[in-house]
Amino acid sequence: MATDAYKKIGYGDREIGFGRCPAVIVVDFQRAFTDPDMEFGGCELVQRAIENTARVLEVARRANVPVANCYTAYHSERDMPPWKIAPVHESFYYGNPCTEIEPKTSDPNHDFIFCKTGPSIFFNTPCTTLLAKNGIDTTIITGCMTSGCIRASIIDSFSHGYRTMVPEDCVGDAEEGPHRDNLRDVGRRYADVIDSQTAIDYLEEYRTSNA
């Protein structure tokens, strides 16, 4: 019988649990990843994540929960990190259609929408200011890609001291293997890996208790 060596030595030994004041984090749901006609678009796990994140966001906005919603774009190669990903160098520039935010998961009348330049939504962005101003202790992280910008955002969320929740069906990647592997790994260390319905139930309870 296979055993998990990490579990044996204490990894994933406890749940973090939701706190009292949540925010939803939406990472890189922009046309580059959400439009099937774009080079990165059409990934099944990402399309699934869009639909489930939209459900979570509908409840979050009704509960007046802050939503931090980011996209990635650059002025030129000069301000771009040395990505090893060809399409980023070819098209991730301000004004390119690939940088347009996904309408299914954004609401300009509610969300705080901003640009990031690194993998993490927290790195050199106003995200922490938004969360601090609203007294946030819990982040619900959604978006893409699980093995890249989602993982980086999870680690930074944890490092900033937030209770970090990751609905598995609200994040996506190009392949299921890296998606599952990275969620298993962060679930051992930094975050509770949940599902969209668990997030919705919590947000509904939050809305009721703060009505």
Could you tell me if residue 11 is inside a domain?
no
149 is catalytic: yes
Structural domain that includes position 182: 18-209
pLDDT per residue over 19-76, tens digit each? 999 999 999 999 999 999 998 998 999 999 999 999 999 999 999 999 999 999 999 9
* Number of domains composing the chain: 1
Could you tell me if residue 93 is inside a domain?
yes
Could you tell me if residue 12 is inside a domain?
no
Could you tell me if residue 66 is inside a domain?
yes
Spot the catalytic one: 43, 70, 149, 170: 149
pLDDT per residue over 76-126, tens digit each? 999 999 999 999 999 999 999 999 999 999 999 999 999 999 999 999 999
Could you tell me if residue 107 is inside a domain?
yes
Could you tell me if residue 8 is inside a domain?
no
Residue 177's alpha-carbon distances to 41, 87, 110, 150, 153, in angstroms, are 18, 22, 34, 15, 19
List the CATH number of the domain containing 199. Answer: 3.40.50.850
Q: Tell if the pTM clears 0.75, that is, is over it.
A: yes
Cβ-count burial 95-105 (b if 16+ within 10 Å, e if not): eeebbbbbeeb
Could you tell me if residue 3 is inside a domain?
no
Q: Which amino acid is at 135?
A: G
Could you tell me if residue 13 is inside a domain?
no
**Under 8 Å between Cβ of 57 and 64:** no
